[in-house]
Structure 1
Amino acid sequence: MVVPSQPMNLLLLAGILLVAVNLRPALASVGPLVEEIRQSTGLSSSQLGLLTTLPLIAFGVISTLTPLFTRRLGIGGTLLGALALLAFGIAIRYVAWLPALYFGTLCLGIAIAFGNVLLPSITKRNFAANSGFVTSLYSSGMALGASMAAGLSIPLANGLGLGWRGALGIWAIPAAIAFVAWLPQVRRLTRSEPNRSFAKAMKDLGGSRLAWQVAFFMGLQSLTYYAVLAWLPAILISRGYDASFSGWMLSLSQGMGIVGSLIIPTLAGRKPDQRGIIWLLASVEAVGLVGLLANPAGWIALWVSLIGLVLGGSFGLALLFIVLRTRHPETATELSGMAQSIGYLIAGTGPLLFGSLFDLTGAWTCSILYLMAVAVLKLAMGLGAAAARTVD
């Protein structure tokens, strides 16, 4: 591994990390506040699940269209506009009007979709020789943002008296800071002329089995991540833990995700074939989910940590697949758009179905068994995506 040393590359890397940290707080801040939002608004579990599902739907719709924006505005300009929309979407959720909560959630989902797609593309274009290392850095930055938001939501809402709306809206401030910090990169990341039409690119990728395997792995790992993000605190509260402890357990899960995001892509980037890593992640996830289901007293922190470690590592690995399975930066942008579009449409079913299963059964058993079934499918797709080949 060679750490980028050119001053401009270091400035770009710092900008990437600042963007990455802002891509998850708007989502992770919701889970610990679910019960307060429910009591304040009277929303059902399914309607609350929509607060996590709406961004995923936006991810699915917008991701595949991202190359159209980058061809006109460039990567830098597209990402700058996304940061402005992110700050707006977060801020409007502070308004005491229920439609504003959902409209702001949709806006921030659209903004995050652009960021999700473009960070692997920038990595391929500017840091190809260090793709595993850079992917580890920004994926762990995303996990760090999620961890901070999950842990601070209850203290912000109750300790500082901001209420749940203030605890959601305050994350517009770091998003606005990221917007200002990204301004110098707009001129640096200029537009490049595509070597094929958007329609041709999507047709070519649609005929690639490997591209579909990358997309399904992305979707299945994201499904589990967002289901846990949305409902882990509610699971723990239903088992007798208080809201503050439950929020910190979600923060612990996200914190262990940082560890997974740092380690797994770095290791995977050194290997042409990542199937052994897929098997390792699947084994650890199985232990964590079984432990969460069995619920032995005093062990909850261990199961939450294992699940978080795997989810962070799997997410970083999914992003790295986009870089490793392509030869050209333009192809990386196209594969990133396709994988995240299809992937997040799959993931969008996660929080909604997870919460609906609880509404139907009155217990979390079926919901956790659902995640176990998803883990088996993820293993199968991951083994295909991890083989040493490219979509080009």
Structure 2
Amino acid sequence: MALVAGFVLAALNLRPAIAGISPLLDEIMDDVGLSPAGGGAITTVMMVCLGVFGAVAPLLARRVGLDRTLLAGLLVIAAGVSLRGLDGALVLYLGSALAATAIAVMNVAMPGVVKQHFPSRINLMTGIYVSAVVAGAATSSALVIPLEHLTGYGWRGVSVLLAVPALLGALLWLPQARRGRPGGQNGPRPIGAVLRSPVTWYVTGLMGLQSLTFYVMLAWLPTIFIEAGLPAEQAGYLLSLTNLVQVGTSLAVPLLAGRQPSQVPYVVGACVLTALGYLGMLLAPTTLPWVWMIVLGVGQGATFALSLLIIALRPANSATVTALSAVAQSVGYGVAALGPVLFGLLREVSGGWSAPLTAGLVVIAVQTVTGWHAGRPATLGR
């Protein structure tokens, strides 16, 4: 029970350091004296770290083991969010980068932890893991402002408070890390060994493109609805709705898909639902917008969960899981970091949202093709 509790709490800490910035961004910019570009750079720095530093995880896991890598990640998250609560723009960026680096390493390590500790319950634990990640993002973005008002600490104090769940997770995971096996011969094989397999690139394509379509919506969805004529408050609720829908979907889909040798029908279905959400915003954004957001949330939540489930299922052992996870998530988040910027540039050039949303549908079509191949039965690194 302690193992499961520590695992879930670790997963809950994988998004608050990122998602908790957005609601406080205006206050942060005013306090620190940042321009809008400087404020946006906080998230950009974190996204770049997610893409770059995930590759460090296999090296750490091979040296000290997966369990101790996870413990270190939780401690570094706590240090990073505490650091950015200090005075000055430099520590704000450094603390954000430190927290994001730890998240990048943990993102890569978590599927390997699932394979190592729960080999007979990969589908269940992947569902719990992904649901916890999504719930952590939704909860933190919803609660940081009320927490600020309740405590009276301001954004700096709230940032430091985000260290508490990370420290609690570290405390729960400490016994496992102390008795967990160290690195060495049982550590992950080098990333280069998985790069030669086509399976790796299909999985990477699925992970990267679903991340791109998700972060595009996270960045621009309220603006799309506002410019279509909906009130800003309603646009914010629509974003919250599509994120909340993903929690339940992320839990249910791996339980169903993990029982089958092929995940192709689930991947294709999830991509179709994501495309329908995009199509609804393109053709009729103010007609039944709640329906479009529910459909989009089901599609995106399922695709994210399936990406991580496939990463855990395809390799033969936890070592290769970590190597595959490093490639898929490092490249994936690197691709995803470009999405919101390119989407915004296309909006600026075209003068509306039709061209960007159409481009999004093209990306989802390519995502479906990579997902088709990634979802087929295969074993990597036997």
**Structure 1 residue aligned with 2:298:** 309
**Structure 2 residue aligned with 1:110:** 101
Distance in 2 of aligned mates of 1:362 and 1:167: 38
Distance in 2 of aligned mates of 1:244 and 1:157: 20
- Superposition map of 1:1-392 within 5 A: 10-34=1-25, 41=33, 43-44=35-36, 47-156=38-147, 163-194=154-185, 201-238=190-227, 245-297=234-286, 299-360=288-349, 363-392=352-381
* Partner SS, residue 348 of structure 1: helix
Asked if the contact 1:153–1:167 (Cα under 8 Å) also holds between the matched residues in 2, the reply is: yes
Alpha-carbon offset, residue 197 of structure 1 = 8.4
Distance in 2 of aligned mates of 1:169 and 1:359: 37
1:295–1:97 CA distance, 2 compared to 1 (3 A): farther
Aligned CA-pair RMSD? 2.6
Alpha-carbon offset, residue 32 of structure 1 = 3.9
Distance in 1 of aligned mates of 2:301 and 2:192: 31
- Cα deviations across residues 147-200 of structure 1 (Å, max 9, x unaligned)? 1122224434567655555555542222222222221111232124336985xx
1:348 partner letter: A
Alpha-carbon offset, residue 237 of structure 1 = 4.8
- Cα deviations across residues 196-244 of structure 1 (Å, max 9, x unaligned)? 985xx32321111111111111111111222222333444455565665
* Partner SS, residue 65 of structure 1: helix
Alpha-carbon offset, residue 275 of structure 1 = 0.9
Distance in 1 of aligned mates of 2:139 and 2:316: 35
Structure 1 gap segments, 5+ residues each: 1-9
1:366–1:158 CA distance, 2 compared to 1 (3 A): farther
* Partner SS, residue 65 of structure 2: helix
2:250 partner letter: S
Asked if the contact 1:93–1:105 (Cα under 8 Å) also holds between the matched residues in 2, the reply is: yes
1:138–1:59 CA distance, 2 compared to 1 (3 A): same
- Cα deviations across residues 46-66 of structure 1 (Å, max 9, x unaligned)? 655443332232122222221
Distance in 2 of aligned mates of 1:299 and 1:335: 40
Distance in 2 of aligned mates of 1:230 and 1:20: 23
Aligned residues with identical type, % of pairs = 36
1:328 partner letter: N
Distance in 2 of aligned mates of 1:297 and 1:116: 36
Distance in 1 of aligned mates of 2:358 and 2:147: 33
Alpha-carbon offset, residue 100 of structure 1 = 2.9
Asked if the contact 2:188–2:322 (Cα under 8 Å) also holds between the matched residues in 1, the reply is: no
Distance in 1 of aligned mates of 2:287 and 2:158: 30
Asked if the contact 1:28–1:230 (Cα under 8 Å) also holds between the matched residues in 2, the reply is: no
Asked if the contact 1:32–1:154 (Cα under 8 Å) also holds between the matched residues in 2, the reply is: yes
Distance in 2 of aligned mates of 1:281 and 1:334: 26
* Partner SS, residue 381 of structure 1: helix
Asked if the contact 2:228–2:286 (Cα under 8 Å) also holds between the matched residues in 1, the reply is: no
Asked if the contact 2:80–2:99 (Cα under 8 Å) also holds between the matched residues in 1, the reply is: yes
Distance in 2 of aligned mates of 1:209 and 1:290: 31
Asked if the contact 2:67–2:176 (Cα under 8 Å) also holds between the matched residues in 1, the reply is: yes
**Structure 2 residue aligned with 1:6:** none
Moved more, 163-172 or 268-277: 163-172
Distance in 2 of aligned mates of 1:240 and 1:37: 29
1:363–1:167 CA distance, 2 compared to 1 (3 A): farther
Alpha-carbon offset, residue 316 of structure 1 = 1.1
Alpha-carbon offset, residue 326 of structure 1 = 0.8
1:73 partner letter: V
Asked if the contact 1:118–1:333 (Cα under 8 Å) also holds between the matched residues in 2, the reply is: yes
Distance in 2 of aligned mates of 1:84 and 1:376: 40
Distance in 1 of aligned mates of 2:115 and 2:109: 10
1:188–1:168 CA distance, 2 compared to 1 (3 A): same
Moved more, 31-40 or 182-191: 31-40
Asked if the contact 1:32–1:247 (Cα under 8 Å) also holds between the matched residues in 2, the reply is: no
- Cα deviations across residues 72-114 of structure 1 (Å, max 9, x unaligned)? 2221221111111111222233335333332222111101111
- Cα deviations across residues 329-373 of structure 1 (Å, max 9, x unaligned)? 111111111211121111121233234444555644443333222
1:230–1:47 CA distance, 2 compared to 1 (3 A): farther
**Structure 2 residue aligned with 1:7:** none
Asked if the contact 2:55–2:105 (Cα under 8 Å) also holds between the matched residues in 1, the reply is: no
**Structure 2 residue aligned with 1:4:** none
Distance in 1 of aligned mates of 2:354 and 2:148: 30
